[in-house]
């Protein structure tokens, strides 16, 4: 049996979808808490290991980051938990003035986006897109780079293997691959292997859909494009190993590489018991949150006037005291 949207088949086996409303609500609440922990952990990791990144995040102003809303993904919620101010559904002027544009998975997109996104990237902007934007935007506006392989995934959680130099490489836990949530997703086929860099792949995707790519990145004249299958705001996670069923603190230590004091600080700021979510919940949320944070830093750092070293120390000190 197939699940249908208004404009396209999902091709998801109904057995794969948790239809019990109580389970859906419980999963959603757990993932919302996991994203809050993830955002606190990303900032704490920056404070401990990359203070200049924390400085950039703090100085991002509204207008530098824009989001085009979608029917199925909500990157704006990831930005919100990170404390990054973003303009949602800007006009042409707002888009062209931005440094980075997030485009959510959707069944349809606005004329503002479709008519101007290629020019935005060409002049130096960053485009970050998810799932169905692959065939609705990347195939037509950035021809010859990537395309949809015409298959549809189920509603499922897959294991992800980031490349060694990917944006995710800093939070990889050996023996416990990051988990990525799919929902009738469109597998990625790389067309230009010389220009397209694969950021992450999945053996699960290779076996089931003959398309192992999870995320890609490529340059387009002065700008850059990053695209991932699935959604940045995950609504579920998966526990394929015993490690994934463990406490969230284990991931904060092994994945986020936080100090004992750093984990205590995250727990204090979360204002709820970290044991309410598990290793897999936080890993799924942190994988997306770390990615969004790093992309925002990459896109805005050249336009953010960094303070001297003393200023960086003040930023870290403020974070640690807050």
pLDDT at 171 over 90: no
**DSSP readout, 106-154?**
-S---HHHHHHHHHHHHTT-EEEEETTHIIIIIHHHSTTTEEE-S----
The pLDDT score that the predictor gives to residue 263 is 97
Please tell me the pTM assigned to this model. Answer: 0.88
Residue with tokens 């935005």: 120
pLDDT at 150 over 80: yes
pLDDT > 50? residue 141 = yes
Tell me, yes or no, whether 6 lies in a domain.
no
Tally of domains within the chain: 1
pLDDT at position 68 over 50: yes
Query: Domain range holding 94?
Result: 14-313
Q: In the predicted model, what is the mean pLDDT of residues 59-75?
A: 95
Confidence of residue 181 (pLDDT cuts 50, 70, 90): confident
Q: Establish if 177 belongs to a structural domain.
A: yes
Q: Is 9 a member of any domain?
A: no
The dihedrals phi and psi of 99, each to the nearest 5 degrees, come to: -100, -30
What CATH number is associated with residue 273? 3.40.50.880
For position 9, what pLDDT does the model report? 36
Question: Residue range 293-297: average pLDDT?
Answer: 96
The predicted structure's pLDDT at residue 1? 27
Dihedral of alpha carbons 218, 220, 223, 227, sign: negative
User: Does residue 319 form part of some domain?
Assistant: no
pLDDT for residue 167? 83
Mean pLDDT computed over 75-80: 97
Residue 285, domain member (yes or no)? yes
Q: How many other CB atoms are there within 10 angstroms of residue 191's CB atom?
A: 12
Q: Is residue 132 part of a domain?
A: yes
Q: What is the pLDDT of residue 3?
A: 31
- Cα separation, 13 vs 129, whole angstroms: 25
Distances (CA, A) of 183 to 70, 123, 206: 14, 33, 17
CA dihedral 312, 318, 321, 322 (to 10 degrees): -140
Residue 216: pLDDT over 60: yes
Q: Which residues of 132-167 are buried (b: 16+ CB within 10 A; e: fewer)?
A: bbbbbbbbebbeebbbbbeebbbbbbbbbbbeeebb
> Is residue 224 in a domain?
yes
Residue-wise pLDDT tens digits, 117-139: 999 999 999 999 999 999 999 99
| 5 part of a folded domain | no
């Amino acid at each position: 049996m197939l699940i249908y949207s208004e404009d396209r088949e999902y091709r998801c086996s109904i057995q794969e979808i948790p239809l019990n409303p109580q389970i859906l609500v419980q999963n959603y609440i757990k993932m919302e808490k996991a994203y809050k922990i993830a955002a606190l952990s990303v900032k704490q990791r920056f404070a401990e290991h990359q203070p200049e990144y924390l400085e950039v995040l703090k100085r991002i102003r509204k207008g530098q980051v824009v989001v085009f809303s979608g029917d199925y993904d909500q990157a704006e919620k990831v930005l919100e938990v990170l404390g990054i101010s973003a303009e949602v559904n800007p006009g042409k002027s707002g888009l062209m003035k931005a440094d980075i544009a997030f485009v959510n998975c959707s069944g349809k997109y606005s004329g503002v986006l479709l008519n101007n996104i290629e020019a935005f990237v060409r002049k130096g902007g960053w485009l970050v897109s998810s799932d169905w934007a692959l065939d609705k935007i990347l195939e037509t506006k950035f021809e010859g780079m990537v395309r949809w392989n015409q298959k549809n995934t189920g509603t499922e959680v897959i294991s992800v293997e980031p490349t060694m130099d990917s944006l995710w490489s800093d939070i990889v836990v050996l023996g416990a691959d990051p988990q990525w949530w799919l929902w009738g997703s469109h597998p990625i086929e790389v067309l230009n292997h010389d220009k397209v860099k694969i950021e992450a792949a999945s053996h699960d995707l290779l076996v089931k859909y003959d398309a192992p790519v999870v995320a890609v990145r490529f340059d387009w004249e002065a700008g850059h494009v990053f695209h991932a299958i699935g959604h940045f705001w995950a609504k579920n996670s998966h526990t394929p190993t015993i490690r994934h069923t463990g406490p969230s603190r284990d991931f904060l230590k092994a994945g986020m590489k936080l100090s004992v004091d750093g984990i205590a600080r995250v727990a204090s700021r979360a204002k709820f018991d970290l044991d309410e979510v598990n290793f897999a919940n936080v890993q799924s949320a942190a994988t997306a949150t770390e990615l969004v944070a790093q992309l925002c830093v990459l896109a805005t750092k050249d336009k953010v006037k960094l303070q001297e070293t003393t200023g960086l120390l003040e930023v870290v000190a403020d974070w640690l005291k807050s």
